[in-house]
Each structure stands twice: as C-alpha cells, then as structure tokens.
C-alpha cells in the first residue's frame, strides 16, 4: 500500500506539467512571448517536434513518433520497475517519480499534439537558452538527485524490480 501512495508523486508532477501547458496554450499563440523579467525570463510558446534541444526534426513524422514512442515506453518500464520495487529508497523514489512524471507529460504532448509544448524561455546576455517546460525541469531535477545518490552511495544496488 505504501508503494502505491508513492504514485502520487509522478501523478502530481504530471498534473502540474499538464496544467502549466494547458494554461500557456490558452494564454499565448505559437511564437508569442510574455515578459516575466524583461531581458532575462519570458514565457514564449513553442512546439518542439524533435528530441532534446530540437534534435531529430529531420526524421519523418511517423519515424519520430515510432522512435519517441518506443524510447518513452522503454523508459517508463525501466524506471517504473525500480520506482515500484520493494527495496527502493525514498531518495530514489523521489528522483524516479520526478523523472516518470516529466516523461509522461512530454509523452502525452507527443501523442496528443505531435510535439512537446515548451514555454520557459531564458536569455543570459547574448546567449539565448533553448525553450523548455516543467516536465523537462522535473526530469532534470530527478536525474540530478539520482546521480547524486549514485555518487554519494555508489555501492548501493538497485532492488530487484520484481516486487
């Protein structure tokens, strides 16, 4: 039962991501921008039809759908098994829950729209960072937490993902 309660974390992560995307889609049109901190942070609606940083956009749409679908499904199965395994630590569950929720948010975008909704837009002087979304942020924070756990406790072994 306690393991099932942990499902609230990826569910909440997914809900926050999808809610933010719904709001931005109702607020801005594609390419429109709203300054939050002028010259530094904007809300700018973009659609990423590729992978990370817009890569793989050269692939035909059906090939992208297949590649992203298979990769997403494989990630959900792989990380989901460890997330629900009996011996998984709370630290690992938080990290994996963020990764799972974010991956599901971007996966739903790809299924529904054929592209990921991005809107967080930062400019650092002359450098303009790629536009991203909350799902990307959740995945990154989860990966950092998971990486820190691996660095701080490298001898820890994954629990068997069968229970």
Catalytic residue IDs: 118, 136
Q: Are 71 and 85 in contact (CB under 8 A)?
A: no
- How far is residue 11's CA from residue 135's CA, in Å, rounded to a whole number? 12
User: What residues have CB less than 8 Å from 109, skipping those under 6 apart?
Assistant: 21, 115, 116, 117, 135
- How far is residue 83's CA from residue 99's CA, in Å, rounded to a whole number? 10
Q: Can you name the residues that pair with 35 across neighbouring β-strands?
A: 42
* Residue carrying structure tokens 């390419």: 31
């Amino acid at each position: 039962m306690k393991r099932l309660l942990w499902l609230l974390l990826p569910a909440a992560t997914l809900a926050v991501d999808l809610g933010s995307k719904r709001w931005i889609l109702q607020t801005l049109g594609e390419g429109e921008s709203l300054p939050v901190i002028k010259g530094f942070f904007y809300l700018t609606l973009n659609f990423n039809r590729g992978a990370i940083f817009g890569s793989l956009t050269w692939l035909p749409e059906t090939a992208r759908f297949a590649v992203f679908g298979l990769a997403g499904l494989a990630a959900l199965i792989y990380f989901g098994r460890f997330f629900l395994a009996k011996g998984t630590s709370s630290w690992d569950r938080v990290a994996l829950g963020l990764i799972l929720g974010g991956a599901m948010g971007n996966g739903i975008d790809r299924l529904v729209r054929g592209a990921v909704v991005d809107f967080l837009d930062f400019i650092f002087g002359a450098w303009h960072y790629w536009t991203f979304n909350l799902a990307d942020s959740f995945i990154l924070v989860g990966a950092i937490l998971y990486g820190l756990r691996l660095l701080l406790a490298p001898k820890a072994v994954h629990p068997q993902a069968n229970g």
